Structure formats: C-alpha cells, structure tokens
Amino acid sequence: MEKLTFKYIGKPIPPYDGFYKVTGTAEYTFDIELPGMLYAKLVTSTVPHARIKKIDFSKALQIPGVVKVVTGKDFPYRVGMYAGDRDLLAIDKVRWVGHPVAAVIAESLEAAEKAIDLVDVEYEELPAVFDPLEALKPDAPLIHEKMEEYRHSPAFNPIPGTNIANKFTLVRGDVEKGFREADVIIEEQFYIPHVSHCYMEVQNVVAHYHLDGTVEIWTSWQNVAPIRQIMALSLGIPHNKIIVRIPYVGGGFGGKAGLGWEALVTILSKEAGYRPVKLVLSRKEQFTVAAVREGFYGFAKAGFRKDGKFIAYDVKFILDAGAYADYTVNVGRAVGYSADGCYEIPNIRVESLTVYTNKIPTTALRGFGYPESHWVLEQIMDRAAKKIGIDPVEIRRINLVKPGISETCTGERLREDAGNPEKVLQTLLEEIEWNTPPEKLREPWKIRSKGLALFVKGPAQPPNAAASAILKFNEDASVDLLIATGNFGQGTITALIQIVAEEFGLPLEKVRVDYIKDTHKSAYTWQTVGSRGLFTDGIAILKAIEDAKRQIFRVASEVLRCPEDHLELVDGEVRVKGKPWMKIPLQDIVMGYTYPNGNSIGGPVIGRGVFMSTHTTYLDPETGQGNPTIFHTFGGAAVEVEIDLLTGEIKVLKVVQALDLGKVINPLLVKQQMNGGSLMGLSIGLYEQIKFDERGWVVNPNFTNYYLIRIKDIPKEVVRKTIETPQSDGPYGARGIGELTMIGIAPAIANAVYRATGVKINQLPMNPENLWKALKEQRPDLFDEALKKFIESKKLAEVRA
Amino acid sequence: MSFGSPYFTLPDFTYHKPKTLREALELLEKYGDEAKILAGGVGLIAFMKERLVSPSHVIDIKGIPELKKLEYRKGEGLVIGATVTFSELESYQVIREKYRALYQAVKLASDSIIRNRATLVGNICEAIPWVDGPPPLIAYGAEVEIKSLDKVRRVPVAEFIKGPVEIDLEPGEIVTSIHIPDVPSGARSGFVKFNVGSEFALVNLAAYLSLNEEKKDVRLVYGAISPKPVRALEAEKILSSEGDMRTLIISAAVKASEELEVISDVLASEDFRRHLIKILTMNLLTELVEGG
Amino acid sequence: MKLEGKIFLKSRREDVWNFISEPVKVIECIPGVQEYSVTEGKRVTAKVKVSIGFIKGIFNASSNVIEEDHENYFAKLKLSGSGAGSGFDALVEVKLNEVDSGTELAWTANVNVSGPLGSLAKPMLEGYVKKIVNQFFDCIKYKLTG
Ligand SMILES: Cc1cc2nc3c(=O)[nH]c(=O)nc-3n(C[C@H](O)[C@H](O)[C@H](O)COP(=O)(O)OP(=O)(O)OC[C@H]3O[C@@H](n4cnc5c(N)ncnc54)[C@H](O)[C@@H]3O)c2cc1C
C-alpha cells in the first residue's frame, strides 16, 4: 500500500456490470421462471387497526387455477432483525391499511389477482392511532400487546405496555448548566414526512422449498446473509439448508435491507406442495405494503455563547415507525447518536423514541437517520448565527470538530486521520462563491440566495458486523473473487475488482465476481448498507490478497531460491526485487509449481481474509456512550437557489457537494454516486411525501401523485469535489460514500431560503405550497412587497380609482 | 391519472376493433353498458388496471378512418376527430397560429410518450378534474359531436363534462369529434398551468379575448380547481367593462380567486389554489394584453 | 363529510321502528344490493354494486348496530366496506319523531371515503350519497305504506 502510482486505483474504470445492463442481458429476480412455478398475491387490510374475526376464502378457491389460500393462523411466526416484531401474515390483528392478511397461491398471476378480490375478511375495528405524539399518550391504543415476547437485539430498549419500540438516550456533560451559561437560545420543532425509496425494481422473491427440506431463494434484496439468519432463527430451518441468491438488483437505497418477504414466500412454497412460488409487489404495494422511510419529529433546544460557541443541546426525536419497526429502531438509535453532526458540543442530551402507529411499516433509507438529525442541527446553526450576528460559515468554523482532539457525543475520540472537515468547508465556500452576492433579477419578485450545510456519517451497524472474502485462482492465473457484497447499483464491486487487479498486477478482465450473491458460495459479509461495502469488504479482500500472496511467495521463494520478502508481484509475474529477469509467471504457481521432473510443490492458491472491527462497542443504555462506528466521512453541501416569492417555488440552480473520501478508488463511480445522491436529496427535499388520509390510507400510492424529481427539475450545475485525507486502516485510505450526498441538500436549501428571507421552513418537503404558507405566516410584508413589485413591473397599477 | 393499482393484470374482456363507425356503433348498441371505447388507452387502461371500470367489451376505435379527421375551414372552424392525438395537434400549424390556448395546453400536457398516444377526445371523455384539454375547449365555445345508431347530437364541452368521471353520454353513443368555432381575427387566447412538483396541474387556466369588435368578448376558464372546469363569469364581466384592459386585470384576478368554488385535494389546498388563481390570471392576462 | 336529512313517513312511529329494526327488510332497500347475510347481533354483510359516473365496482359492506334505544327511538349504526380499491366508513344515527299524521325520520351520517373514490369523487360524493339515501327511503316508504 506504500505504492505511489497505481494502475487501476484512482482511475475512472466504467462499472463492470454496465455492459449487461445496457444490453438487457442482466438477469434480475423478476426474470427467474422455474418449472412448475406458482404465483402469490397478497390480500391486504382495508382498516388500520382491527381484530380479524373471520377470513372466508371459499369463493377464492373456486377460481380455476387457485391452488391454496393461506392466512396468518397457518404459521404464527414472529420474525425480524432488530426489533423482531414482524409477522409474515397478520395474526389475530391487523395494524395498518395494507397489512397482508392472506396470500393466494395460483397457477397464474391472473388467477391469483382474481382470487384476492374474493377473500372476505371480517374485522372488528379497534381505535387507531396515526400520530406518534398521540401514540405516546398513556391512553393511546396499544398496537403491540406482546412486545415483551419479541426477540430483539441487545442494542435496543423497547418498552412493553407502551407504543415505544425503542428508547435511545444519550447524555454528555450537563445541559442545564450549559443553558445557564448560554447567551442565545434557539428552540425549534422540525418535521419530515414519510417517503418511499422509489427504486426501479419493485420487491420480488422466488422461493422453492424442496422435499428434502432445502430452501432455495432468489430475491431482489441488498444482502444474502440476514435473510438466511432471520429465516433460520424464526422458521427453525438449519442455516446450511437455506440458499439465498441475489442476482442483479434494480436499486435498494436501504429499502431492501433487513427483513423481506423471503420467509413468507418460503412457507407458501411448502404449503403449495413444495412448488416454487413467486411474489412480486406492485408499485402501489411499494407505497402501502412494503416498508418506507419513517416520519420524523425533532424538538430541539440549543444554547450558544455570544462568541458563537455551541454549549448546550437538548433534543428529542420522535420517529413515526408505523405498525412494525424492525429496522427503524436502529434508525432511531443512529439519529440519536448523530445529533451533534460535526460539531463539538460539550453538553448534550438526546432522547430518541421509535414509536409504533397504525401506518405503513418503516425501514432504512439511504442516510439512515443522518438526514433527519442534520435537518434539525444544520438549520439550528444558521438560526443561531443570525441571532448572534455572525456568518453561518463563522459559526461552523468555531464549533467544528478537530480530528485527533475532539470527541463525538458518544465520547468517541475522533482519529487523527478521520478526515478534514475544515477543508470540506473551505472547498464549499470556493465552489459556491460564498462571498459573491447572488445576482439580482429582472423579475424583482424572485430572489436568489446561497446556503450550506455540513455533515458527517459512519455506518450504523452492530459492533461485530464482520465481512470476509475468498479469492481463488484459476489455471490461467485469473481470479474468482467470492464475496457477498451487495450489488444494487452503487458500483462497489467494480472498485473491489480494481483492488484485486491492482494488487496482483492482473488485467481487470482477469478478475471475476459472479453477479449472483449466494449464501452457499460467497464469503460472508454482514450486510452491504451504511456506506460500508468498500471499506469493510475492501479490507477483507486486501487481507485475502495478502494471504494468497504469502502462498504464492512461499512457493516462488523455493523455486527462485530467494527469501520471500525479496519477491514482488508485477504484471502477473513473481519477480525478485531488483532482478526482474528472475521471475515466474503467476500461472505456473497458482495451481502448484511443477519442476521439470514432475515433482510439484504448493497447490491451488486460495486466499482468505476478514474484516472485524475491534474498537466498536454497544452504546451504554443510559448515557449512549461508546464507539458506534468504524469510520466517519465528513462532507458538506452548498446550493444556490432562486425563490419565487409569489408562488413559493424554489428552483435550485447550483449544487456543490464536497466529501472527504480518504482515497477515491474510482472517480467515475464517485461522480455517479454524487450526482445520484444530489438528485435524490433534492427530490426528497423539495417534493416527496407520502400522504395519509384521516383513516390511515395512503392517498398518493403512485408516481402521478407522489412526485419524484424529473429531468426538468435538475439544476444546471452539479459540482462534485473530493478531498483525500487517507484513513490508515481503510483500503488505500478510503472511506464510504454511498449515503453521504443525501444528507446536506435539504438543510442547505432551507438555510438559503432563511438567509434571504428570514423564513423558517422546518418541514419537508419544501414545495411551493409549504413555502408559500411559511412566507405568508412569517413574512407577510415580504410577500406583499413582492406582489407590489410584480404589479409595478407588469404595469398593472389600477387607474380606475 | 392513475391512483395506483395492486394488480398487474387487467380484468377479463373481449377486444373489438371495428373498421367503420357503423360497425362501432352496432357493437356499442349491442353491448350497451358493458362496453367501453378505447382510444389512446392512457386513461382507460389505468382505470381498468385499478378495477375502477371492468367492461366486458373493449371497442378500439383507432382503426376507424373517419375518426382521424383534423381539419380547419375558414369561417367554420376546426374539427378534431376522436382518434387525433395530442402530438398530432401539437404539430398542426393552424392550431399553433390560431388556437394558442389549445396549442399551449396540448404542448404542456405530460410528456411526449403520453402525448403520442393520448387523444383530446379521450381527455375530455375521461372527465377527471386535473387535465388540460377542457379549459381551452370551453374558452373557445367548442362542442362535441355525439353519434349513436339512430341519432346525432351536439353538446357544448362545458355541458358535456358533468363532473368527475361523469359525462353526458348514453350507452350506445360515441363522441366522433370536437368542433371549435373559427376565431375572429384579432382574437387572442392563451393557457397557463402551475405544476411545479406535480405531475398534474394544481390550477390551469385558458383565457380568450376578442377586443376589436364593438363588444368585448372575454372568457376565463379554470381547470383542476373544482369537480369540473369553470368559467369565472364575474371576472369576465370586469374585464369586459369600459377602459384599458391593463387597468382591469388586478380586480379581475382578485374576483376570479374569490368567486369560484375551489376544492382541496391531494395536490393542493383550497387556499393555495385561490392564491395561484390570482397570480396565474394576472400573468396570463398581462401576457395576452402585451402580446397584441 | 357530514350529511343529514329528514324524511316524512305516513306510518306510526312504532311501525316504522319495528320495520327498520329488522335488518332483512331494510337491506333489500339498499340500492344495488346483490347478496347479503345477517349474522348475530344484527350484523349485516352485503355485496353492493356501486356506480359513480362511469366508475363501477362491487363493494363488500357491513353494518353493525352500535346502539339501539327503543325508548327514545334512536339507533346508531356503523357501516363500513371496501371495493374498487377504495374503502369507506360511515357512522349513521337515526331518530324517529312523532309528528302530525305520521313519523319524521331524522338521520345524520358521517362518511369517510378513502382510495381512488375518495380522491376522485369526493366533491360529488355528497350528491351521490344523498341520491342513494333518497332511493333507500323511498323504498322503505313504499314497503311501509304500499
Ligand atoms: C402519467 C400521466 C400523465 C398525464 N398528464 C396529463 C397532463 O399533463 N395533462 C392532461 O391533460 N392530461 C394528462 N394525462 C391524462 C391523459 O391526457 C388522458 O388520460 C388522455 O388524454 C386520455 O386519452 P386517451 O385517448 O388515452 O383515452 P382513453 O384512455 O382511450 O379513454 C379515456 C376515457 O374516455 C372514453 N372515450 C375515449 N374516446 C371516446 C369517444 N370517442 N367517445 C366516447 N368515449 C370515449 C373511454 O371509454 C375512457 O373512459 C396524463 C395521464 C397519465 C397517465
């Protein structure tokens, strides 16, 4: 790694799977058709909270082609990864509109879809609760009566008898004292609505329960390992009898992590007489049945000294987790311990409650609680700056963490090489031209403004989340890399291939990673989430490379009669350092070396390597203190916006994102990540919102009424900047990037609006109606003036009077 | 419009593709309530997929030559046949020159994939509140021609659309064409909509002004704000009164934002819509006044 | 959405009460009802054909008696159902008042509709519900008085 020039590392290598995708030959779960395969369709609840009195499916069974109808009573399993709260089909009770109550299995999708309409479910409705603040009240309807029986991970703290799925607390310093010393106090409430992941490929699964008890699964999911683990624990099938395969995946964004439909479809396959069964969700079901990102409240009180120092922060987060919170409890934890962002706050108290309501279940979404904590914190910074009378940049400089010196709110000392937040900030300022005032417009009811936000994020994972890699050589010294790293569009695998090719001096084509991830064949990795793939799996691969090299050098040293540490691997050859004519081609070693007389030494080379974090810990349940993460990526976003004061429209003209990635392994992929993340951040910031009616129904479960960013909305300029402060234990010094670009956009826009107008938008999305309302409430004068200017410039002044 | 469907399949139906209007009318007569006409299918297929309609017979009219008519005659006006698509209208020169409001509405509707299939007749027959076709048609005083085996009738578009998903069409009948009267020279028209962060308009508006005769003729038609498109009659009155148009615009815009019945729905609240009505009205009228 | 209305019936209050307390008699007056069953506690489940404009669908609906107060001639029902991707519930209150030469039936209904029908047809739903209610009471009138 001391190498200074690289052949592949740091080069814009195109994604290895691009060819298959653009030629349409990439195989997705949706393409899997097995002989004798049946189709499943879910019957879902039409009421938000009710006891199931009766399910009558006799008429459904009369539809030709219907094989079976099953209900939750048939298999009362409780499944999950963190909270362990989930059923496969509703048992006794439904908890949201969309809760699957029965599944029809049929010879064709047509028959299954006809049959679901003929399943009559009789409900006895129970009082429902839709708002988490209501759900916290003592007399609120209880959504999970048997919470104490759920098998939850030790990292969480559910409170049976309430609707609290997890309570996270963090205390550091003395906030009360901090507030007493504060000159300026900011108190605000924030809100973020539910949003959907909107990946192109909807969730779909094929499962085949074989007669011998082996289960084969194909699924559109991010990770193979947790599926097997969850199924083994909840269904009692031995791990080695469960084979989970993931082919190409059309996007995940966190929505395909943790628990999926695999356990259900497996059971359906068994129930249907050991025939393979396929379940495909429709887009509507993605909005009403699958899990989405939680709704979020943030109640913040922040104290600053008049010199700009942030000295006390008391914040309460309330997550609207919906009917099931299996993964969201961990979002609740992450939002809690990321409350301090990239600032040093000596006195801090955080309470983060993940709360059940009778709405759609929720899960991870790219950013995992960090967009939420930063939506609050980064706006607080600008509000405080204004109140104190200093520049938003200045207040950030004053409070910015100093790697090597500062501790985060969990009491973790930042490593010296954690990154360079100061340089991130500087880069933003240069690129957005912070000190150049924005242009004044010819339409004076429109104004331009600039805003920025900083952020930091690391993977939110259990302390023992491991990764491993196996690489084996073929006769021609090509390499098969057996890894389970999820491949759902991020490009990680391409970067991992670059590492192998670099280290062995092989052409890229000689390194192959099968597109199918397979619990049976790929080396274990905990999950590909939290921007960790390149870091954790990259380290495992580097170790595997070391291991293979050792085997290769051992043999070569005997053959070349030279100590191992005098050998090097260059261009597919083992050479004696300084004597390049003394060499053996790799292919003469990787299956064992054969002397001219036939004597052979060594043998097929197989490298193995693992990643295991040794310094991470669980967090203390009372104080939230500990080491939660394996790296921190620092970054920032700056925007220039144009605000139409008359219609409330915010047009984002320019976006700048700057990230300290340690080392850019592949600048092309980084560029694509930064473009994609910027647009997703804009879309969620400006437009997206799942809306519910008063009966808990989603009113916009489709892409005509749930607006996603379109080509016409894309800013003219998206500037991407990377900084490289290497982290010594990362692969080539690299840190993760995947989720980072999601975090800063929304607060940067809100800050730009606040800077120009003084209008606080504490609520997403920042769509025209929301801004118009805020403007009218907070700055009616500004609004009237804009209208006056509009009238003047259109020469409409009324002459009639 | 689509509401989201849990289904991938369509309900069972028999598909018919008549070659003549007569054949189509016979099928409609025969199947009555059980039949639905398929033009571009943009609306119908979505509704069927969502099981909002489940016709046992689907009658595809795209193979009927006489419904493809798109013709302008001076003095008589424009005839738009039932299978003429948005894209065909967009590239028809007369519309671009003479019927600006229609041209802009058609051009701003959705994207080219939809416009290549969607018909204007289908757009008004679908009768959902948020579409862009009806306001300009009503502003021009357009009529639909409706035929059945035994009769032909004409109904103004304004009356043809009775409410959401409700039109003045009996079983056995088909809309064959839309007739838009010729516009006098000097008349101006225009269309605007507000759809920032939305697939469909929160408010749309077509305006028609004819000023050079002794009597001012002004029409303002709003869509997406209420169950069916509506004219702002009081605002029109203000604009038709004596005086320089430019001095009347503000009071007309304010009037329009107050006089109409406006709904709240998933796209916008009543208040925001009223506000947009005011801004859009001022914008469009100023543009029209300046444009001449 | 809150709706209310009053109907005059030329029958004795007791007769009206007896009639409307009999689910089977009442159900048959529901416009579009296709099949139904009555279970314990006067719980009624029925399939009802609904058409609003050109939207047509079959609703699975049920009705539960929440309160039945003969003394005051007052009843409270909860109706709910789903179909065509939509769902609804309604809390209905009925009170019978004695008036000259007959009975006045006063009703209120608090109706909520979700799904496509809710978003699409809310503005016209009021008219639609009123139409249904009128047809329903016309039928009852007819059955009571011939
Ligand atoms: C994603 C999306 C975006 C859209 N955006 C817009 C937009 O921006 N602006 C806009 O205006 N619209 C928009 N629409 C709506 C679209 O324009 C209409 O659905 C389309 O115009 C309908 O025309 P069609 O030819 O496809 O009708 P069809 O789907 O074939 O028919 C629609 C209805 O009309 C009936 N019908 C059709 N022709 C006749 C006839 N000759 N006589 C009697 N009945 C008939 C059919 O039976 C059916 O009930 C959008 C739709 C979608 C799906």
B63 in contact with C, Cβ within 8 Å: no
Q: What is the pLDDT of residue B31?
A: 97
CA distances from A26 to A217, A279, A516, B73, B193 (A): 18, 20, 11, 54, 41
Q: Has residue A310 been placed in a domain?
A: yes
Q: Is B188-291 assigned to CATH 3.30.390.50?
A: yes
The per-residue pLDDT for range C81-119, each reduced to its tens digit, is 888 888 988 898 999 999 988 999 999 988 888 988 887
Q: Is the domain of A450 the same as that of A480?
A: no
In whole angstroms, what is the distance from residue A491 CA to residue A531 CA? 12
- Which residues lie closer than 8 Å to C108 by C-beta, 6 or more apart? C2, C3, C4, C92, C93
Domain range for residue A215?
A: 32-128+200-251+256-288
Q: What is the pLDDT of residue B292?
A: 56
CATH no., domain C2-145: 3.30.530.20
Q: How far is A791 from chain B (nearest CA, A)?
A: 8
Subunits with 3+ C-beta pairs closer than 8 A to C: A, B
Number of domains into which chain A is organized: 3
Name the residue among B139, B168, B105, B109 with its Cα closest to residue B232: B139
Q: Is the domain of A105 the same as that of A45?
A: yes
* Ligand 1 geometric centre to CA of B67 (Å): 16
Mutation for testing the A interface, residue in C49, C114, C119 having most A CBs under 10 Å: C114
Which CATH number characterizes residue A48's domain?
Answer: 3.90.1170.50
Of C52, C54, C57, the CB nearest to B51: C57
Instruction: Tell if the CB–CB gap between A796 and B9 is shorter than 8 Å.
Output: no
Beta strands in C100-146 (DSSP E): 102-114
Q: Is the domain of A111 the same as that of A207?
A: yes
On the question of pLDDT at B215 being above 90, the answer is no
pLDDT < 50: residue spans in chain C: none
On the question of pLDDT at B156 being above 50, the answer is yes
Q: Has residue A637 been placed in a domain?
A: yes
Note which residues in 30-59 of chain A have CB less than 8 A from chain B: 42, 44
- H/E element holding B50? none
Beta bridge partners of A650: A643
Give, to the nearest 10 degrees, the angle between helix A768-778 and helix B270-290: 100
The per-residue pLDDT for range B232-287, each reduced to its tens digit, is 999 999 999 888 888 999 999 999 999 999 999 889 999 999 999 999 999 999 99
ipTM surpassing 0.90:
yes
Instruction: Tell if the CB–CB gap between B6 and A284 is shorter than 8 Å.
Output: yes
Q: Is the domain of A430 the same as that of A298?
A: yes
**CATH class assigned to B14-60:** alpha beta
- Token pair, residue A716, equals 């003219």
The per-residue pLDDT for range A693-737, each reduced to its tens digit, is 999 999 999 999 999 999 999 999 999 999 999 999 999 999 999
Q: How far is A444 from chain B (nearest CA, A)?
A: 15
* Three-state secondary structure string covering B205-254: EEEEEECCCCCCEEEEEEECCCCCCEECHHHHHHHHCCCCHHHCHHHHHH
In whole angstroms, what is the distance from residue A608 CA to residue A18 CA? 28
> Atom of ligand 1 at shortest distance to CA of B86?
21
Whether B119 contacts B40, CB under 8 Å: yes
Q: What is the pLDDT of residue B211?
A: 79
A347-356, strands of its sheet edge to edge: A164-172, A347-356, A310-322, A295-304, A184-192
Q: Has residue A747 been placed in a domain?
A: yes
Name the residue among C104, C93, C73 with its Cα closest to residue C11: C104
Q: Has residue A159 been placed in a domain?
A: no
Residues having CB within 6 Å of any atom of ligand 1: A 704; B 1-2, 36-44, 46, 61, 82, 109-110, 114, 117-119, 121-123, 125-126, 131-133, 169, 174-175, 199-200; C 54
Q: Has residue A193 been placed in a domain?
A: no
Give Cα B209 to chain centroid, integer Å: 18
A646 in contact with B, Cβ within 8 Å: yes
Reduced to 3 states, what is the DSSP secondary structure of residue A454?
strand
The per-residue pLDDT for range A439-474, each reduced to its tens digit, is 999 999 999 999 999 999 999 989 999 999 999 999
- H/E element holding B286? helix B270-290
Whether A303 contacts A185, CB under 8 Å: yes
Ligand 1 pocket test, candidate residues B37, B80, B115, most atoms within 8 A of CB:
B37
Angle (CA) A235 A240 A246, round 5°: 85
Instruction: Tell if the CB–CB gap between A767 and B249 is shorter than 8 Å.
Output: no
Measured by CA distance, the residue closest to atom 46 of ligand 1 is B37
Q: What is the pLDDT of residue A2?
A: 52
* B2 → chain C, closest CA residue: C116
Angle (CA) A237 A242 A244, round 5°: 145
* Ligand 1 geometric centre to CA of A398 (Å): 59
In whole angstroms, what is the distance from residue C76 CA to residue C64 CA? 9
Q: How far is C115 from chain A (nearest CA, A)?
A: 6
Domain ranges of chain B: 14-60, 65-180, 188-291
Which CATH number characterizes residue A499's domain?
Answer: 3.30.365.10
Name the residue among B144, B140, B160 with its Cα closest to residue B152: B144
Q: What is the pLDDT of residue A801?
A: 38
pLDDT < 50: residue spans in chain A: 1, 799-801
Place of tokens 């490929």: A201
Name the residue among A4, A485, A285, A598 with its Cα closest to residue B6: A285
Q: How far is B49 from chain A (nearest CA, A)?
A: 11
Which CATH number does the domain B65-180 belong to among 3.20.20.70, 3.30.465.10, 3.40.50.80, 1.20.1440.130? 3.30.465.10
Q: What is the pLDDT of residue B245?
A: 86
Instruction: Tell if the CB–CB gap between C114 and A697 is shorter than 8 Å.
Output: yes
